[in-house]
Each structure stands twice: as structure tokens, then as C-alpha cells.
Structure 1
Amino acid sequence: MNLIKLAFRNFFRMKFKLFIALFIGSISILKAQYNNPQYKIIDVEHYKLTLEVNDSTNVINANINVNLQFKQAANEFYLDLVERDSVSGKGMKVDSIYQNNVEVNFKQLNNKLIIYPKHNFPNLTYTYKIKYKGEPKDGLVISKNLHGDRTFFGDNWPNRAKNWFPCVDHPSDKATVEYIIKAPNHYQAIANGFMVEETNISEKRKQYYFKTEVPLPTKVMVVGIAKFAIQNIGEVQNVPVSTWVYPQTKENGFHDFEIAKSVLDFFIEKIGEYPYQKLANVQSKTRFGGMENAGNIFYFEESVTGKQEHEDLIAHEIVHQWFGNSATEIDWSHLWLSEGFATYLTDLYMLEKHGDEVFKTRLRKEKSKVLSFYKQSKTPVVDGKTKDFMKLLNANSYQKGAWVLHMLRDKIGNELFWQGIKEYYNTYKFKNASTKDFKQVMEQVSGKSLELFFNQWLFNVGHPILKTDFIYFRKKLRLTVEQLQEKPFEFPLEIALYYKDGSSEIKTIEVQNKSYAYEIEAKGDVKYIELDPNTKLLFEEEK
């Protein structure tokens, strides 16, 4: 009878877990539907972009084949594309669209390319060939580099790809991509994927052909066209690694980026197989310090110094190849799954490479940025209200996200933490995930409920603000801990007791209440105490 009861109990427990998993998954899908209106209608499978650039004008001539499936019958659908405006003259003008070789009607309105298909049936693949031209307003940056040489660099994050090619410009719609790049022959070209072809098509022009094997979000689909010095620096676990820098300072650039091999090897060992066909580190005109474009990372121009000053930046962008590019946040509000991961896994790389003091110094600096940002903006890490996505590039997404992972690692242990990171990646590689998806994986791996942990640190605003006081009497320390913020947090707090004889020890208390008095055994006269001596908790201390 007891065995029967146990069997039924286990059966219903499994059913309940399945229900929860499906429920959480449906929330992620609904979130994507809300922020990507085309989610219900189309699914882009592949882009094939032919792009022609020149030195006489900033106008690009292009055509793109977009392979997509309809999820339901539709009289119209749209792709994101910034149209030409009459004031600046910048933007894209579409000349024609063909659906499987049949011309179809379209219009450009409010930076959308609205297409009226001739017919469509769900779950069949249709190819739309779109011919267009124009001067990009943004996204494809056409300018001069710091040496005065003309360059063309894709710089799409968060949703600026639509400035130079028609697409579903949202991280939840991934697709494979091919590029055929036609340019004057004094340039070299780099793009996502493997270079299939390099051809002299005339005395003055070259053609480059790149192709990816795995789907990418549009935020990391880019090309780079410039005068480069290129160094192939070998392979790391069968991944070719190369450096692309401006020729004027090639020796410095080659030296700066040679450390990428050891960084890549570290993360392959820790996370798993590298997701792309190559790793190219590229000096560029990106507006960011680094932009983690899939398989070819673009770094800011001044990153080349010859002093290897940006090891942590290189590590940060390489981490993104797994988290952000391959396992991608379902929506921008979950950006910490990209930036928080890259920040903290870089911290762990620096711990391995440079030791504990460097690691803790980085954590303290990150903590300071979180506390400063909180004084300016009281928003949660998972922020669905901010619609200017550039403003999500903040201390919540980066440094607080990193601290959440740091505290999670302390909570479940280093071994289970890395096991969970690997499992999360393997589950969502080449897919999309939400914060709750990540939580579910870490719960399965650790065997612990993490609902409260994730809610208080990621979905609620703020952090613990602690005021403490103590008295010592007869080997007893009476410690009062008061949380001054509006909502109390629950967390372990390490207390270092420093004795008058010069010795010390660490005690741990579980803080759960708004205010509470703890009685702690002490081995002698306590001179003073220190909260969180090992840098394990994100908090603010009120003096």
C-alpha cells in the first residue's frame, strides 16, 4: 500500500513539474509575441544578402532573398526596413519584390516594408527577392577610420539591422545568413560564417561570399569592409582564430589580440563546444567598446595599443558567442542573460588567470556601479517597461546581473554552478530563453527552489540596505541587523569578528526579517565586526 501511494505521489509530482515547465515556456512565447508582432505570422529561416559598395557614394545597391514560412494564412505581413526620408535623403528605397519569381505588391510605411503575398500556406517555405538601394541612416556605418581610410562596418545592436537590410529585427527570430559582398579590390571583407569564395570580378572589384551554418539573431549579423592587415594565429580545438586590424598599426594589433586563443580555450573547456565556424577579432568603427557579432567580434578603434590592455574586453566579447549570440535572450528585457553572463564569466576567467584579489577587486567595482545606478534609476534587472533599448545597457544588465550569478554560485556551489551553466547552454543553444527558463535549469541541476532568489534579485527593485549595531557581553555578541529598503530580502550574511587579541573568525547568519537581533557565540572580546568580508553579497551598508 505504501509503495502504491509513493508511485502515485511521484506520478503527480512529475505531472506538476511538466505543467510548470509548459507554463513557463508559454510565458516566454507570449513575451516574444508581445514585442515581436510578426511572431504569430511569419518565421524567417534564411537571408541571402547581395551587397554592393563603392568609393564614390554612400549609397548601397542590394538585393536580398528572404526565405520564410507562414504560421497562418495572411493577406499581408511586414519586414523591418528604414525607408528613405525626404529631408536627409537617407534610408532604403525598395524597387521590386518577387515571391517565388512572381512579382507582388508592397509599400513602405513607418519603417516597415509591408508585403502583399499572392498566396500563402502555413508550413511551406516561400522566397521573397527584394531589390533595394539607399544610404543607410545607421546600422551600416560608412565613414573614415582614425587613419582617414574609408570603411564600412555593420553595427546592429539592438535593432539597427533594419537600416540596411529588410529583416525581422528582433532577437526571437533567428535565421541563417549568406552574404555576397562586392567592393573595390583595395578592401578586404569579413562577415559571419565561413568565407566560401573570394573572386576578382573585374580589374577594380572583388566579390566575397560568406555563409553561416547555424541561425543567428539579426543583432549580430554584420559585414566589415575596410583595408585590413590579417593574421591567422592558429586553431583552438579546431576553431580557426584570426586578427583583423588597420595596416598602420598591425604589429600592435596582432600583439593585442593574440591572447584571444587562450581566452577561447578557457571558455570552451568551461562551457562547451564553440558555436561558430571561426573567431575573428576585428578593429572597427563600432560605437561600443566591443560588439560581439557572431564569429567576428568588432572592437573600438582605440582598443589597439600594443599593450594588451583589454584582456577583459576580449574575454567579455568571446563569452557572448555562447551567451547572447547562440543562447539568446527572448527579448531585450532579459538582456542580463547576455550582458550579466559575459560580465561574470569574464570575472571567473580573471580569477583563474590573475587570482583572487583581482577577482574581488572587480566585484567591488561592479558593486559600486550597481549602487550608484540604483540612486539614479530604481528599476529591476528584468525591465519590461524601458522601450529605449539603448538605456538597458546599464549597471542592472551588466554588473547587477553579474552579481546575481556570483551569489547564485555561492548559493549552490561552484561545481553545480558550472554544471548548470553548461546545461542551460546545451538546452538553449541556437534558441531563445527567458530568465525563468534559466531559473528552471538551475533548479533542476541544484535540486533547490530558486523562486525567491530570482524574484528578489531580478524581478524586484533594489538590494539590501543594512544598518547594524552590536554589543558584546560574556562571550556573546548581540547583533542587530535592520533592512532599511522597502521590501526585506532573504540572504546569508557573513560576519567577521575581530578580537582584541588580534585573532578573527567568520560567522554566518540567515537574514530573513526587516529587523532582527542575533545572538552569536564569540571566543573572546570583540573589538569590531566586518560585514561580508569575502565579498559574497550585493548590499549597501548604512554607516
Structure 2
Amino acid sequence: MKSLPLFLLLFVTTALNAQSPAYNPQVNLLDVQHYRFSLTLKDDTDRIEGSAEIKLHFKQSSNAFFLDLVKNKAGKGMEVSNVTLENKPLTFSHQDERLNITLPQASPAGQELNIVVQYAGVPADGLIIDANKFGDRTFFGDNWPNRAHHWLPCVDHPSDKASVEFLVTAPDHYQVVSNGIQIEETNLDGGLRRTHWKETAPLPMKVAVIGVAPFAVQLAGEVQGIPVSTWVFTDNREAGFIDYSQAVEVLEWFHTNIAPYPYRKLANVQSKTRYGGMENASNIFYFENSVNGKKEREDLIAHEIAHQWFGNTASEANWYHVWLSEGFATYCTDLYMEAKYGQEMLAERMREERFAVIQYAARRKAPIVDTTVANLNALLNTNSYQKGAWVLHMLRREIGDENFWKGIRAYYQRYKESNALTADLQRVMEEASGKSLQAFFKQWVFRAGHPELKVTYRFDGGENIVEIFVEQLQNSPFSFPLDIQLLDENKKVILEKTLSINKAREEFAFPIQGYPKEIKLDPGAWLLFK
């Protein structure tokens, strides 16, 4: 996900007020295996009609469980008409955001059941029903972080993954795009059309969505047999086909350098998402003003495509570790841009991201993994994105390029179609490098702030010695390597060293040939500091 500008993000964060905890107790009780959502959409009302067939696997014996589903309140929310098991009604109650279901007898651990929930209502959120900028009515799922249960009965937590299919019946002037591959499109009586999409890979509900609008659709290309398509509003047809065509080259790079693409197609969709981009699995939604025909969104496209590996397939186990999604997507974008445009492009991007981290820390000092956050949307912050990227960048230096790539690929392979916490990433990177990274992760991920440095030097021309003084101004010292260059009056580098910094104040002395006029800190942009 690429976040919006700060003032818009603050508005969204306040408006959504997502106060649910990061832990969902259902994930220890049951594991959803598959969802089959049948939805009816209409033009004369925002009311949707739904049927959810849900295959459950019980991890523990129980005669009761709940699904997440927002109940109708003041005309917005869902009303459940019945819940059945093998066509027999089940007892249920629906309060606030929970659909409580009672079984006729306890289901033993290991048993699988198929239940059906019939429901209807006007979504308060999650499914955005709104006119696009051209005045056309549209429907777009926008589920992050836990907004799927505004319109879909589910376990709305990133640690519960299931395959999913959507059968959408809507007026025939709409086209429907969703996760997976399209297996049916049938015109029905009364000017309706039924469209059926099916994804067999397990997904967290945050990225299981539909998009329904009058679209212009183009096959942009293929990557190793994987179709890459563009879905844009009809008025943006020409510009959209140009802009989203960049996804083919981007997908090729990730497919080659990370691992084979985990899904059977990639659709790039102009949408009404409230975010800059939303990484829905195989079905990326971009904000509606992302199209202008000038190919200016390459980094946005790269960010969302990176999420197909990190965030969708290898997912954070809870939202507090969302940097494993957003930090990875941010740095993977940096890596793609480095590969295409060169190392100086990477250094420039890292300097920009460092500036953003410093600005954010001036407003709010907090660790990347911050369990004090109550509003989950507030986790879409600079720490999760840019500082997360900086952690990976410094980790790359700490263990070397070869071990870094080895570790990143191993991490993905170990946790694809599963979930991880920061400790899991640390463990994989330690295995890849043969180094203990406990101190590294502790200071950069679980500690607030960053080094704030004052560096001075003194030149002794008689002895041709330069003394360098490094002082850390924050409360307690960090440990890190600091690259420095000393330049003469002609800007020629006359001394280049890497200093190992571990204390609040350190002094170094080096012989030097020439008269130093300037000191440069971190010329290659490998350290997060102020």
C-alpha cells in the first residue's frame, strides 16, 4: 500500500477510527479454508445482497464461534437473515461487529464444516460505492486494515488466510475484476450479468476484493505466461493503457529477482481506493488520479507489485509488524529503481526517505513495532514505510549483498502463504549471514529514534594528522559504522574511512596527505542519522 499525503491520511485515519485490537481470538480456535461470496449489486440502491459459503477447520473443539461482520446501525451495516449448516438452521446472534454462531454439538479439533451466511445491507465502509471522477457509479473493495467485515462475514485478521471466490451479479453495463482468474461471465435476463472470479492461493481478507465499474481493459503483456492487464475508467482509456503498461517490466524484475510470481494474473486497476495504491492480491487498485499518460507512477506500481510477495503472500502475523509489508515494499521499490537507474538513484531515494524519518521523529518518537497504537490506520506512518526501508538498507550493509539477497529470498520461501513477525525475519537473516543480529534489530526496530551526530575534526599540519571527534547527542548511544570523507580545497577526497561508533563520544586520529577543508558524513547514504 502506498499511503496518501499526510493531511489526507490524517483525515482517513480519523474517519475510519479502526479501534480493533491487533489480536483476534478466533485465529486460535479455527482456520478458514475457503470463502465463496455471492453478491448482488444494483444501480437504484447501495444495498447489497450477499451469501457467504465458508469452509471452516477447527483447531480446537468448540460448539460456538464468531465471524466478524458489522451489524446494521442507523441504516448502515449488515443484517443476517439466516445461518445454515448442511441446509439446517443454526442459532446465531449479531451484536456490533460480531456474528456469534452456535453449533448443535461441539465440533472436534480437526473437523471441517461448511456454513452459509445469508445477509444484506448498506456497507458503511469496506466496499466503497461512489461515483468516479467522471460521474460513473462504481463499487470498489477497500479492506485494509480490517474493513472487510463491513461487507463480508469473515475472520478479518491478517493471520487467517483462505482461498476465495466472488460471484457478482450486477447490471450488464459494468465489468467486474477480482482476485484470481475469471472462470465465468454470463449475461442474464433483465439486463444483468454474472461474473465469477476464483483465487486458489490463500489470502488475508485485507487483499480480497472486487472492483465493479465501466472499464476499458487491455492486455498489457505477459511475464513467463502470466497475463498483465490494465483496467481503467473508459474516459482514461488511452492515458491509462500507457501508464499501467509499466507493470510488465516491473513484474518481470520481481519475478526474476525475488521468486516466481505467486498468482495466476496481475490486473492493474484504476479505482476509488482511499490510498495511493492498494495491493489487493493479483488485483492492484490505484487511486483514480494515478492516470495522466506520462508514466509518472513507476515507483507506485513497483511498490504495489512488491506487495504481492511481501504483505500478500508472506504476511505480517499482526498489524503491529506491518513494516514487514510496507517497509519491504518501500525498499523493494528502491532496489528495483537501483537496478534500473543505478546506485546514485538508490542513494538519492535513501536520502529522501531519511529526511522523512527525521521529520516524523521530530513530531513523534516511537519504535517501528509500536504496540501502543490503538487506531490501526495510524500504523500507516513513516516508521512502517521509510524507516522500515532504512532498516533493510542498513541490514544489507551489515551482512553484505550476497547474504542479504540470500536471506530475503529465504524469508519469502519460508513464510509464503503464511505469516511472520519481526523475530522470524531476524532468525532467517541470522541463518543466511551466520551473524547474531539481536543488537541490530533491537536498536533499529524496537527502539525509538536514531543517532543524532555532531562531528568535528582538527588538523595538525606539523604531524600531518587529522583528529576526528564524533558525539552522539541523543540520550543513549547507538552502535553503527559511519563512513566519512575528508576533502581538500579542490573537493578532492584525501581521506576515506569507516568509523565504528559505539559510545556517546569517540575520537579517532589518522595520518593524512593534504590539508582538509571539508568533512562529508555518509557519502554513500548507508546510515540513518540526523
CA distance in 1, matches of 2:492, 2:361: 36
On the 8 A contact 2:22/2:319 being kept in 1, the answer is no
| 2:362 counterpart of 1:375 | yes
CA distance in 2, matches of 1:234, 1:313: 19
SS at match of 2:426: helix
Aligned twin of 1:274: 261
When residues 236 and 322 of structure 1 are mapped into structure 2, their CA distance, relative to the original with a 3 A threshold, is same
Q: How does 1:226-237 map to 2 (within 5 A)?
A: 226-237=213-224
CA distance in 1, matches of 2:104, 2:426: 44
Superposition deviation, residue 502 in structure 1: 4.7
CA RMSD in angstroms comes to 1.2
Superposition deviation, residue 364 in structure 1: 1.1
Superposition deviation, residue 503 in structure 1: 2.7
Aligned length: 506
Alignment deviations for residues 118-164 of structure 1 (CA, whole Å, 9 cap, x no partner): 12121111011000000000000001000000000000000000000
Moved more, 217-226 or 380-389: 380-389
Q: In the alignment, which of 462, 481, 494 is matched to residue 470 of structure 2? A: 481
Alignment deviations for residues 362-407 of structure 1 (CA, whole Å, 9 cap, x no partner): 1111111100100111110011121211111111000000011111
Q: How does 1:425-444 map to 2 (within 5 A)?
A: 425-444=412-431
Superposition deviation, residue 500 in structure 1: 4.2
Aligned twin of 1:510: 500
Q: How does 1:45-194 map to 2 (within 5 A)?
A: 45-85=33-73, 87=74, 89-119=75-105, 120-194=107-181
Matching residue's letter, 1:242 = S
Gaps of 5+ in 2: 1-20
Gaps of 5+ in 1: 1-32
CA distance in 2, matches of 1:432, 1:228: 34
The percent identity for this pair of structures is: 50
Superposition deviation, residue 475 in structure 1: 2.1
Aligned twin of 1:196: 183
Q: In the alignment, which of 374, 377, 381 is matched to residue 387 of structure 1? A: 374
Superposition deviation, residue 514 in structure 1: 1.2
CA distance in 2, matches of 1:34, 1:148: 37
Matching residue's letter, 2:336 = Y
CA distance in 1, matches of 2:135, 2:524: 49
Superposition deviation, residue 523 in structure 1: 2.2
Aligned twin of 1:356: 343
| 2:197 counterpart of 1:207 | no
Higher relative contact order (CA 8 A, sep 6+): 2
SS at match of 1:169: coil
SS at match of 1:46: strand
CA distance in 1, matches of 2:507, 2:241: 59
CA distance in 2, matches of 1:493, 1:145: 50
TM-score normalized by the length of structure 1: 0.92
TM-score normalized by the length of structure 2: 0.94
Moved more, 525-534 or 240-249: 525-534
Aligned twin of 1:320: 307
Superposition deviation, residue 529 in structure 1: 0.9
Q: How does 1:235-250 map to 2 (within 5 A)?
A: 235-250=222-237
| 2:507 counterpart of 1:526 | no
Superposition deviation, residue 352 in structure 1: 1.6
SS at match of 1:214: strand
Superposition deviation, residue 501 in structure 1: 6.1
| 2:275 counterpart of 1:285 | no
CA distance in 1, matches of 2:491, 2:316: 50
Alignment deviations for residues 148-206 of structure 1 (CA, whole Å, 9 cap, x no partner): 00000000000000000111100000001111110100100001011111111224011
Matching residue's letter, 1:490 = S
CA distance in 2, matches of 1:347, 1:324: 17
Aligned twin of 1:29: none
SS at match of 1:367: helix
CA distance in 1, matches of 2:185, 2:491: 71
CA distance in 2, matches of 1:487, 1:168: 42
